[in-house]
Amino acid sequence: MLLHSKINLIFNQGEPMTQEKFTTDILIIGMGAAGQLAALYAYDANPELNITIVTKALKGKGGCSRMVQGGLNVVLNEADSHEKHLMDTLKGGQYVNNQDLAKTLVEEATPTIKEMETRFGCFFDRNPDGTIHQKPFAGQSFDRTVHKGDLTGIEMISRTTEQVMKRDITVLEECRAVDLLLDSFGREVTGALLLDIRQGRFIVAEASATLVATGGGPTQYRFHAPGPEKSVDGLGMLYRAGVVMRDMEMIQFHPTGLIIPGSVVAGSLLEEGLRGAGAYLYNGQGERYMKNYAPDVAERATRDVVSRSAFLEMLAGRECEEGGVRIDAAHMGSEFVLENFPGMCNRCRQFGYDLSREPVPVSPTAHFVMGGADIDKDCHTSIERLFVAGEDAGGVHGGNRLGGNGICESTVYGRQAGKSLARYMDRNKSQPAETAKSMVEELIENHTRPFNKENGEDAFKLRAELQECNWIKAGVVRNGNDMEEAVREIAAIRGAATDIALTGGRPYNMLWNTYIDFMNMLDVSDMVVASALARKESRAAHYRSDYPEQNDEIGLFNSFIIRGDDGLPETSSKPVEFTYKTVEECRNYKK
């Protein structure tokens, strides 16, 4: 069982708080597909392990995995192959993927999806002969996307949550990690500092091994697909802990986020399967513009191409009256659309749109971070006792993620992480080093300082300024001058953030949690812009109007970032390692 002790802390304003402390074998930060599968596989490998999951939301009710509509890419058909899936993934990533990670993704997806059904009770749509149905997604040479209607994530997370609850796995709900804890040398992660959102108190979690699996969620942009609780927490914590990060310039903008003026769910997705099934995109002049940008595949081009094309149409003044472009599925027949995409039809109907019978306004929306912690195929990072899986890790997707490969990554690398954690705990019986002296107190001081100010800046206002800056100057289309301005603007916003004032009690304080979210967004914004400035070409999701062409002479590298002593990102690069496929094979591959 967990070991608990309590100590009293006195804050500057004289308010005593109770800080709880516990020790666990494995601490898992995040409860999406990666976190849950890691917990399940680690527990099943050794039920004696103490495993604790921390989630900002309620069990099974938050995060991006639950919101997955389309499905996950898996090789199941004899006419398909891991070779084809790998080449699709490398081609989509424009050759800068970590090929070890990409190969692991495609090969391990097949046993993973089978175990999702046979071990954990997920049940996916079937063909008439009883085999698993697979539908088309853009950027793929074979229809390999496994799904449950267009509500795949709900099926998966509902079943895996049930499995977690059946096991002796501790779950701390409405509890967030605010920072990783380190030993005095910064070489080992000793756990994490948590915030109990319900009670407004801090918890020190000491762990022999820690997994970060919070999901990226690039909500630092004006239009974004992830829900409000997503705020790139894991990426911010990893960066501040000194973890080596990679490819942070690569932010995916999904082409079809709903335009819903004034709504918190603006930017929520109409998923890839809609275009895969045959939906068309039109500009404000009624032109099916994708024929101009990708004449061979049109709307079934990869997400980076479709998003950029929509954004360029908008910049050219050819947007629809709602401000974006329109997606039209009506020509496929209302009965077909209602039957195959009921979740999207219901979502559109809530906001006055009829997806089955009329065009719906959409815009590119920030969706996924291809970059993240530099890991190996067993989810190890550059710091001892720290593992990362899912969207918090980089390298699998290279410069652009194929639709259906995101939740595939979460499940495959959640499974990889769980097995790796169990092996690590079996080999490493020693306790972690002690947390650096005064680190906990300093972190608590940092995260509560705004309570000491009576009047000051508004966290919501500064967050909106940051989102606008990123959207305009480091978004779908970038250039050097804009990004240099973004560096200065982000620095100015960070300076203003030191004057944020917080009011109210600590329990369920939305403003306090927004402040913590916002500080993570600032750190990730710094990384994105620094990496984007260093890549003086266009590649995959990274498009620079001042360097509009992909240049393999200079661009076949991976970007790496580590936090400098001044708190700002230090960038470096390494040539891409073509471990299994040469650049010529990738270039010449035809889907």
Quote the CA–CA distance of 363 and 357 in Å, as a whole number: 19
Q: Which spans in 271-355 are helix H? A: 272-277, 290-293, 303-315, 334-340, 342-350
Quote the CA–CA distance of 419 and 563 in Å, as a whole number: 30
Nearest to 203, CA basis, from 29, 21, 54: 21
Is residue 158 within 8 A of residue 60, CB to CB? The reply is: yes
Q: Which spans in 359-458 are helix H? A: 405-427, 439-448
Give the CA distances from residue 504 to residues 10, 51, 194, 454, 507, in Å, rounded to whole numbers and listed in that order: 18, 34, 20, 11, 9
CA within 13 Å, CB half, 63: 38
Give the CA distances from residue 92 to residues 85, 301, 389, 399, 506, in Å, rounded to whole numbers and listed in that order: 10, 10, 21, 8, 45
**The one catalytic residue among 66, 147, 275, 539:** 275
Q: Which two tokens stand for residue 351?
A: 């906001």
**The one catalytic residue among 222, 246, 254, 401:** 254
Does 331 participate in catalysis according to the annotation?
no
Residue 58: how many other CB atoms lie within 10 Å: 12
Burial code (b: 16+ CB inside 10 Å, e: under 16) for 169-199 equals bbbbbbbbbbbbbbbeeeebbbbbbbbbbeb
Does 539 participate in catalysis according to the annotation?
no
The C-alpha R_g of the chain, in whole angstroms, comes to 23
Q: Which spans in 18-131 are helix H? A: 33-45, 82-92, 99-118
Is residue 480 within 8 A of residue 529, CB to CB? The reply is: no
Residues, the chain, total? 591
Class of residue 449 by CB neighbours under 10 A (exposed 0-12, middle 13-18, buried 19+): middle
Active-site annotation, residues: 254, 275
